[in-house]
Amino acid sequence: MAIRVTLDRILLDRRMSLTDLSEKVGVTLANLSILKTGKAKAIRFSTLNALCRVLECQPGEILSYEPSEDDALDEAADQAAE
């Protein structure tokens, strides 16, 4: 997947555990763990908002875009269709 979650880096910078974040955000530890490990398929804006509020950061500090091979194939197919 091309979207990478950098929650582990932010937690390290803030010296905060995933358990502490879970309690402050109101999201289960299991769901935050899925997000942190990059296994999540989606994130609700309300969750992203709560994370940004508690961590005092911007969404771009939690999420980043890194093109993958699949993205390159999709782009090539889009160009061929034009």
Give the span between the Cα atoms of 8 and 13, in whole angstroms. Answer: 9
Cβ–Cβ under 8 Å, residues 3 and 70: no
What's the mean per-residue pLDDT of the chain? 89
> Is 78 a residue whose pLDDT tops 90?
no
Q: What is the pLDDT of residue 27?
A: 95
Q: What is the pLDDT of residue 69?
A: 75
The residue extents of the domains of the chain are 3-81
| Pairing verdict, β 63-65 and 3-5 | antiparallel
Q: What is the pTM of this model?
A: 0.79
- Give me the pLDDT at residue 7, please: 94
Residue range 18-39: mean pLDDT, rounded: 95
Tokens of 10: 């932010």
Average pLDDT over residues 11-39: 95
| Residue 25 pLDDT exceeds 80 | yes
- CATH-assigned architecture of domain 3-81: Orthogonal Bundle (1.10)
